[in-house]
Amino acid sequence: MKALVFFEMKDGSPAGASLELISAAAAIGAEATAVCVAEADGVIYEDTVTDAITKKADGFDVILFAATQIGKLVTPRIAARLGGASVNDAIGLKVEDGKIIVTRPVFGGTALENLQIQASPAVISVRGGSFAAPETAPEAEALDNATESKTKITEVIAEAGEAVNLEDATIIVAGGRGMGSEEDFGLCKELADALGGVVGATRPAIESGWIPRSHQVGQSGKIVTPDLYIAAGVSGATQHLSGMIGSKYIVAINKDADAAIFSVADIGIVGDAKKILPLMIEEVKKRNK
Ligand SMILES: Cc1cc2nc3c(=O)[nH]c(=O)nc-3n(C[C@H](O)[C@H](O)[C@H](O)COP(=O)(O)OP(=O)(O)OC[C@H]3O[C@@H](n4cnc5c(N)ncnc54)[C@H](O)[C@@H]3O)c2cc1C
């Protein structure tokens, strides 16, 4: 089986989960060929990628993208042009009876479904954190980016508000409604700063105006896969868990010993986050000296 693996480039390096796609291809025993596409001036990037990959796709059984905004946009377009099948947000891949089986979360992450791919090529976007990044990755061939696009960019308006890159963060300190106030929510920021991480939040924390929406983790926010996720005053609703369940190590602080967040935590601390976070901040600052 042959896999075409798309490396989404950011500042000259493969972004997000792009490198992990090499391991995803290995999981189905496919020989991987890595490609990338440079952004072309005045052309929507999705159009460029769709065109370049469609032209390159001949002879490949599987085409893999990271499940980024771009990856999820191009998979159905490429599959439609090639007469293949598209699946977004895969967290597992395997082969059974010669057919590719894709596992992906459904119903906001509360259940998993297995899909057997019937058409070729299988155009799949893979969720970050689902496969380990390989120690070494092949050089990616740069594909032609001279697309004749029907869509032209006439103006770029920067998003208002604070930009935060939660998806690539290795440490996230997330606060929930249990932090009680904007002032106490600031403890999450203080701990994140001390650890060199970024702040995440549940939807109620955002709706309370404690932090901008760009920090929301979950079903209607961002999907994150940091090495360390500290959740303070977060109950662990499925809509939040579906965004952070791929974190490698989870520490939960909640005053309710029965809170659902403890069911996914590697370490659970039962207590008042407003008292525990200052102790953690003090300890981390001491170690940073
Ligand atoms: C369609 C849809 C999409 C959604 N998308 C998202 C999403 O993307 N992200 C998201 O987060 N939510 C989302 N939600 C909302 C979600 O269902 C939950 O309501 C939300 O995640 C709960 O947030 P929370 O844990 O901050 O609040 P709560 O559920 O109210 O929990 C607060 C927790 O804090 C604890 N606590 C209270 N005081 C303290 C203290 N002093 N110290 C320690 N612990 C304390 C409590 O015991 C409790 O467990 C969505 C809902 C819907 C319907």
pLDDT-derived band at 196 (thresholds 50, 70, 90) equals very high
Residues 113, 220, single domain; the answer is no
Q: How many CB atoms lie within 10 A of CB 125?
A: 26
Better pLDDT: 258 or 165? 258
> Which residue blocks in the chain are alpha helix, DSSP H?
20-27, 45-56, 69-82, 182-195, 203-207, 238-244, 273-288
Residues 201, 241, single domain; the answer is yes
Residues 191, 264, single domain; the answer is yes
Residues 181, 131, single domain; the answer is no
For the cut 70, the answer to whether the pLDDT of residue 55 exceeds it is yes
Q: Is the pTM of this model over 0.75?
A: no
CA distance 168 to 174: 15
Residues 60, 18, single domain; the answer is yes
Q: Are 277 and 187 in contact (CB under 8 A)?
A: yes
Residues 7, 138, single domain; the answer is yes
* Residue 9 amino acid letter: M
Whether ligand 1 lies within 6 angstroms of the CB of 255 is answered as yes
Average confidence (pLDDT) over 250-270: 98
Is residue 152 assigned to a domain?
Answer: no
Q: Report the sign of the C-alpha dihedral through residues 162, 167, 172, 173, in that order.
A: positive
Give per-residue pLDDT as tens, 82-92: 999 999 999 99
Is residue 164 assigned to a domain?
Answer: no
Is residue 96 assigned to a domain?
Answer: yes
Give the pLDDT of residue 9.
Answer: 83
Residues 138, 202, single domain; the answer is no
Is residue 155 assigned to a domain?
Answer: no
Give per-residue pLDDT as tens, 76-119: 999 999 999 999 999 999 999 999 999 998 876 678 899 999 99
User: Which residue out of 107, 179, 217, 254 has the highest number of ligand 1 atoms within 8 Å of its CB and is therefore the one to mutate?
Assistant: 254
What CATH number does the domain containing 226 carry?
Answer: 3.40.50.1220
Better pLDDT: 107 or 287? 287
Residues 128, 78, single domain; the answer is yes
Tell me, what DSSP letter sits at residue 6?
A: E
Residue 13 has φ and ψ, to the nearest 5°, of: -125, 155
Question: Could you give the percent of the chain with pLDDT greater than 70?
Answer: 96
Nearest CA to ligand 1 atom 50: 239
User: Ligand 1 center to residue 106 CA distance, Å?
Assistant: 20
Q: Are 38 and 142 in contact (CB under 8 A)?
A: yes
User: Ligand 1 center to residue 154 CA distance, Å?
Assistant: 40
Is residue 57 assigned to a domain?
Answer: yes
Tell me, what DSSP letter sits at residue 150?
A: S
Residues 188, 130, single domain; the answer is no
Is residue 6 assigned to a domain?
Answer: yes
Whether ligand 1 lies within 6 angstroms of the CB of 239 is answered as yes
Residues 8, 136, single domain; the answer is yes
Full residue range of the structural domain in which residue 198 is found: 171-288
Better pLDDT: 69 or 54? 54
Give per-residue pLDDT as tens, 11-35: 777 876 899 999 999 999 999 999 9
Is residue 237 assigned to a domain?
Answer: yes
DSSP assignment of 71-116, as one string? HHHHHHHHHHHHT-EEEEEESEEEEETTEEEEEEEEGGGTEEEEEE
Overall domain count for the chain = 2
Residues 23, 108, single domain; the answer is yes
What CATH number does the domain containing 10 carry?
Answer: 3.40.50.620
Of all atoms in ligand 1, which is nearest to the CA of residue 260?
A: 49
Is residue 187 assigned to a domain?
Answer: yes
Residues 183, 67, single domain; the answer is no
Give the pLDDT of residue 148.
Answer: 74
Tell me, what DSSP letter sits at residue 213?
A: G
Better pLDDT: 152 or 246? 246
Average confidence (pLDDT) over 211-216: 93
Buried-exposed string 255-276: b where 16+ CB fall within 10 A, e elsewhere: eeeebbbbebbeebbeeebbeb
CA distance 185 to 191: 10
Domain boundary among 96, 128, 143: 143
pLDDT-derived band at 276 (thresholds 50, 70, 90) equals very high
Tell me the Cα Rg of the chain: 21
Q: For residue 150, give Cα distances in angstroms to 42, 48, 50, 156, 197.
A: 11, 11, 13, 17, 41
Give per-residue pLDDT as tens, 132-176: 888 887 889 999 887 776 777 788 776 665 668 898 899 999 999
